[in-house]
Amino acid sequence: MNSVMTKQFYKQRSDFEKSCVTRDEKLTFPDGVDFTENIAYADDNEKAHRLDIFRPQNAKDTMLPVIINVHGGGLLLGNKEFNRYFCALLCKKGFLVYSIEYRLVPDCMIFDQLRDVFAAMDFIKKRVKPDGGDLSHVYMVGDSGGACLITYANAIQNSYKIAKAAGVKPSDLHVSALGLISGMFYTTKFDKIGLFLPKFLYGKNYKKTPFFKYVNPENKELVNSLAPAWLVTSHNDHLRKYTINFEKALAAAQKEHELIDYPKNKNLTHAFSVFEPFLDESSEVIDMMTEYLRKF
């Protein structure tokens, strides 16, 4: 792979991690949440193979619906710690929340990231009941690159053809619905993402592989394989067109879904409910999304 581009990825990741320190100084973890961090979901001592668990303190003996959160960051940066506040607020709505870490580009490809997601899901399936979770109501929520990952993970779970093309064995943990926040659904458009990321995600010769037709998320087989989905974007989301276009594909396929598109507001930028979880609008997003998920 291009060494200059690789160095740039690592620099972006390093800058992001430094910015997280400043952000943490300004935010306060919500009261009323039991939080356990850095549980290994694989026996390989890989730092990225860990997850955090959030449980509302006022629901000690209650079986709770489950949310699995997959953080964003364009698949090349980000971490579960950044989503900690967002996950705590989700938890306070009456959910058992698992927030998973996964390996990042350029250290791996998207197929490895999907394997990480499925390994975490298999681990979660084994411990959901002891943790007080309801296996019949499991949902996945992701922002930006995380939304891309859970979209493909869900499609792979429900389509043998897509799973075979990806060369990935899916988890059999059933997912009832998806929450997709400012999704980075498209990775091969002629834009800042599509011009550099595809070869890192899919390999240099990906256009000659069986998976190539599925890099377009509007692929009919992929769209028809998805669980009900709740989508949110905003006028000031730099990837707004991704959500708008993907929603049109869901609508054309008559797939169950709901779209929320916030109007112009300089505070409501990309994945604002995760970046700024304590905004009034972020609280609205969490309320609307969890209300939708509970229908399934």
286 residue type, one letter: I
Residue 6: which pLDDT band, with cuts at 50, 70 and 90? Answer: confident
The pLDDT score that the predictor gives to residue 1 is 52
Mean pLDDT in the chain?
A: 96
The pLDDT score that the predictor gives to residue 61 is 84
Residue 4: which pLDDT band, with cuts at 50, 70 and 90? Answer: confident
Helices (H), 194-279: 198-202, 220-224, 240-252, 272-275
The pLDDT score that the predictor gives to residue 105 is 95
Residue 182 · residue 239 · CB < 8 Å: yes
What is the secondary structure of 138-191 as a DSSP string?
Answer: EEEEEETHHHHHHHHHHHHHH-HHHHHHHT-PPP-----EEEEES----SSSSS
The pLDDT score that the predictor gives to residue 60 is 82
CA distance 180 to 118: 18
Strands (E), the chain: 33-40, 50-56, 64-70, 96-100, 133-143, 177-181, 229-234, 257-262
Token digits of residue 287: 């309320």
Burial class of residue 6, CB neighbours in 10 A (0-12, 13-18, 19+): middle
Q: Encode pLDDT of 85-138 as tens digits.
A: 999 999 999 999 999 999 999 999 999 999 999 999 999 999 999 999 999 999
CA distance 230 to 289: 7
Q: Encode pLDDT of 52-81 as tens digits.
A: 999 999 988 899 999 999 999 999 999 999
Nearest Cα residue to 120 out of 61, 65, 40: 40
Provide mean pLDDT across the span 241-246.
98
**Helix H or strand E segment including 258:** strand 257-262
The more confidently predicted of residues 12 and 214 is 214
Provide mean pLDDT across the span 232-260.
98
**For residue 3, pLDDT beyond 90:** no
**For residue 251, pLDDT beyond 80:** yes
Does the predicted TM-score (pTM) go above 0.75?
yes
Residue 231 · residue 210 · CB < 8 Å: no
Q: Encode pLDDT of 160-195 as tens digits.
A: 999 999 999 999 999 999 999 999 999 999 999 998
- In the chain, the percentage of residues whose pLDDT exceeds 90 is 92
Residue 48 · residue 103 · CB < 8 Å: yes
